Amino acid sequence: MTILLISSSPYLGEGSCAYRKKIELKLVQVQVFFRHGARTPLHYVKSPLADVQWTPDCTKDIPESVIPIKHVDISKGTPVDESTYDLIYKSVHLPGGEAIGMLTTTGQKDLYNLGSRLRKDYVGGESILSDPPKFSEIEARSTRVGRNIKSLRSLVAGLTKGQVNGTFVVSSMAFENEVLFPNPKTFTNAPFNEGTAELRNDSSLSALKKKIREALKVDRLVDELDNDEMKYAEDCQVYYVRDDYIARQHNGFPIPKALETLQPEMDHYSSVELLSELLGKRENWIANLPVNIGPVLYIILSKMHKYASIPPLQLFAVHDSTILPMLLTLECCEEIWPPFGADLTFELYVQVLGPSYNQLRLNEELILPADAPHSYIDWSTIQVNHMWVRVCYLGRPLPLASMWCAGDDAAQQLIGSEEYVPLLHFVRKLTPLALSMKDFRAKCRAFAEKENLAGVKEEKRGPKNL
């Protein structure tokens, strides 16, 4: 796909020789990070106003989503035994008999539809994928969670319209090493418990919980699946309630009308609760991003750096707990919980016509963390001055240029758009937060050692709440 942009920058007068320059961009890579589709809930907050039966019929496959896939370990290349994952979900059952956290029939449709949308954007013509797409043009990675593997399968089925040329390969990492979501196995969140403590003093959050109790006609918000013996002593998190009732609603079950009116508030405070659990006090959210999603940001940059030698479409099946911090990194987090099937897409373009962007001196501009010696990427090996990035969330471009390139007349003059930013700006923004696996593990160990010396105890968190 080639895009012709004509700059009509307000920074230049019509007499300027640079006025209305033609800039032609060619799309060379797309990275899509997406949340799984609708699933059975992870929490169960009872109400006398609404009952629900989650039977196995809710999770039946839709025929159009079933294509042959091979799930392999990312390090060994060996097949992953299906019986070895989802163990924390399969043992916990909801009313009706189905387990928690299972992709539903509706969820498969969510991702099939996302695949169909990506097909319109990136398949055929001069775009990055053939029609029908070849599996050699796609690389896919997922967390080792059943709903994500199935969501990825459904997306690829929609992307290809079922016209597949073999078996699609999905790679994943063992749970104890996974970095595609904030993982307590790789980083204990003990230093960030103060974020949850901060929320206990939030009067607006307390008021919302009161309204939710009234909407559900209950005296206490209780997750019946929680094993904590103190669960009846205080209200559970708002995002537990949201998790249950949004899953019900999206899968076609009725929910109390009074609760529907509270959804915007619940979407907001649920995200604040989760970010506070993951990153601590609000004032420390940005500073703590490296030990949260530093490896994800490093993956994005490293994939862009080697775009010419890898498949042009990179797919990542992740979680809401991945997407929220990613939006925070991009300064585009409205603190609203990502819906089922949410996608965050990074498009990389090579400039094939027009003057290059050379205002930033790469080596002077990059801020490399002093404690991340193994996270350096040598950008001088590609034509970084001729490359641009566009990021879309839920299919809509983010206005990164208006935020990141403010005062940079050269970028504005060249592109004349809020959507496209020079790759140099993108690299400069992510590099201080991005960590290679080696540096990430070292930083996590340093955090843990510091807190152990201080005698800080980690709050117990269930593995399902990821």
pLDDT (tens digit per residue) in 304-336 = 999 999 999 999 999 999 999 999 999 999 999
As a whole number of angstroms, the distance between CA 436 and CA 408 comes to: 30
5-12 average pLDDT score: 42
Is residue 114 within 8 A of residue 158, CB to CB? The reply is: yes
383 by DSSP, 3-state: which? coil
pLDDT (tens digit per residue) in 68-83 = 999 999 999 999 998 8
Least confident of 28-32, 240-244, 344-348, 451-455: 451-455
My answer on whether omega of the bond before 399 falls inside 30° of 0, hence cis, is no
Q: Is 96 exposed, middle or buried (0-12, 13-18, 19+ CB in 10 A)?
A: middle
Say what percent of the chain tops pLDDT 90.
72
**Where is 367: in which H helix or E strand?**
none
User: 0.75 exceeded by the pTM?
Assistant: yes
Q: At what angle do helices 146-160 and 105-122 cross, to 10 degrees?
A: 40
Q: Give the confidence band of 18 by pLDDT, cuts at 50, 70, 90.
A: very low
Which residue has 């479409």 as its token pair? 313
pLDDT (tens digit per residue) in 104-130 = 999 999 999 999 999 999 999 889 999
**Domain chopping of the chain, boundaries:** 190-284
**Where is 187: in which H helix or E strand?**
none
Q: Which residue has the higher pLDDT, 230 or 33?
A: 33
186-212 average pLDDT score: 86
